[in-house]
């Protein structure tokens, strides 16, 4: 659902960039002041897992593919502020290093996926924390519903931005986007439940190795499988092609454009190595950022 450049017109890009900047700034401040901070290892591991999981497109109906968004999952595992920061970091690396989504439309992508998508997950996390008596089946159903809603809300936001750009009417693009992403949302819900069940027990442990282990194993598996992910157009590409919209990625130099390492001629190896380079970048930046946020302490009013 990454919107490329030249698909949004008028004031849509600057307005969404401003809203996204305010939202991410608020998330960083809230994360720095939070008393319930995830460990640095958890924050970095979840960020890498989100990046790697988004490389695995799965086929759905009508020659379309989708991939895990992970916003709801991130909110439940990390808390809303840290999930917003993690998603923003992943989207920024995708745009700057891989040319996935435009630079001018980065604000819109952050708004749609990192703010609105995570917002659904934040509500869900509060519900799960307030109802610790919920059975495992009910918790799984709540997670599935949250994952589906996060995709649908992001698709609705994209529809509004495209309509505001004057490329087509809101009713036309919203009908196409929601119809396509309803199926992608089902995959999102199922994957969110599976990863939630795999990781929540592991994250209850205090050991850094235990916290890092499962997410990094899952991320490594996703990176190894990425060359064989579905190459069908994703939901947004499918809809914009059907409606005759044309967009292109950012003009800036993307060293890993197309999720390929240009120095490697073997196609599968090129994709795999590019993914690992991106994962290392996400892990390094998220670890440093997590350390800064974790070390941030509130100064007592008396100055001591």
Cα 280 from chain centroid (whole Å): 17
4 located within any domain: no
Task: Give the pLDDT score at 21.
Answer: 97
Cα separation, 202 vs 209, whole angstroms: 10
91 located within any domain: yes
106 located within any domain: yes
Task: Give the pLDDT score at 128.
Answer: 84
> What is the block-wise mean pLDDT of the chain (304 residues), using blocks of 10 residues?
86 95 96 90 93 94 90 94 97 94 92 95 86 84 94 96 90 94 95 89 61 79 91 91 68 80 92 95 95 66 41
Cα 76 from chain centroid (whole Å): 13
> How many separate domains does the chain show?
1
5 located within any domain: no
229 located within any domain: yes
126 located within any domain: yes
Instruction: Read off the CATH number of the domain in which 21 is found.
Output: 1.10.1760.20
Domain that holds residue 281: 12-295
6 located within any domain: no
Cα separation, 1 vs 236, whole angstroms: 5
Task: Give the pLDDT score at 168.
Answer: 85
Task: Give the pLDDT score at 5.
Answer: 80
**Could you tell me the maximum CA-CA distance found in the chain, to the nearest angstrom?**
64
Cα separation, 20 vs 205, whole angstroms: 34
Q: In the chain, which residue ranges form alpha helices assigned H by DSSP?
A: 12-33, 40-53, 71-78, 80-98, 106-109, 117-130, 136-164, 170-203, 208-225, 235-242, 267-295
Record the tokens describing residue 63, joined without a space.
């020659």
1 located within any domain: no
């Amino acid at each position: 659902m990454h919107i490329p450049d030249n698909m949004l017109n008028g004031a849509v890009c600057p307005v969404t960039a401003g809203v996204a900047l305010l939202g991410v700034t608020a998330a960083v401040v809230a994360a720095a002041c939070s008393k319930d901070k995830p460990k640095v290892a958890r924050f970095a591991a979840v960020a890498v897992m989100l990046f790697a999981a988004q490389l695995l497109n799965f086929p759905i109906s009508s020659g379309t593919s989708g991939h895990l968004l992970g916003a709801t999952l991130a909110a439940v595992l990390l808390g809303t502020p840290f999930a917003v920061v993690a998603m923003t970091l992943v989207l920024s690396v995708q745009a700057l290093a891989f040319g996935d989504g435009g630079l001018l439309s980065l604000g819109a992508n952050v708004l749609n996926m990192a703010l609105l998508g995570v917002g659904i997950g934040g509500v869900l996390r509060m519900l799960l924390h307030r109802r610790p008596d919920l059975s495992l089946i009910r918790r799984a159903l709540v997670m599935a519903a949250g994952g589906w809603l996060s995709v649908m809300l992001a698709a609705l936001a994209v529809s509004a931005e495209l309509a505001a750009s004057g490329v087509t009417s809101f009713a036309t693009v919203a009908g196409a986007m929601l119809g396509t992403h309803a199926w992608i949302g089902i995959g999102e819900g199922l994957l969110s439940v599976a990863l939630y069940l795999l990781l929540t027990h592991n994250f209850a442990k205090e050991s850094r190795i235990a916290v890092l282990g499962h997410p990094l194993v899952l991320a490594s598996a996703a990176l190894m499988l990425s060359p064989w992910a579905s190459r069908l157009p994703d939901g947004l590409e499918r809809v914009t092609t059907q409606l005759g919209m044309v967009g292109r990625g950012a003009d800036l130099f993307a060293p890993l454009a197309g999720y390929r390492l240009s120095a490697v001629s073997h196609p599968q190896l090129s994709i795999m190595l590019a993914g690992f380079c991106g994962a290392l970048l996400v892990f390094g930046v998220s670890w440093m950022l997590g350390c800064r946020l974790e070390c941030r302490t509130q100064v007592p009013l008396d100055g001591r």
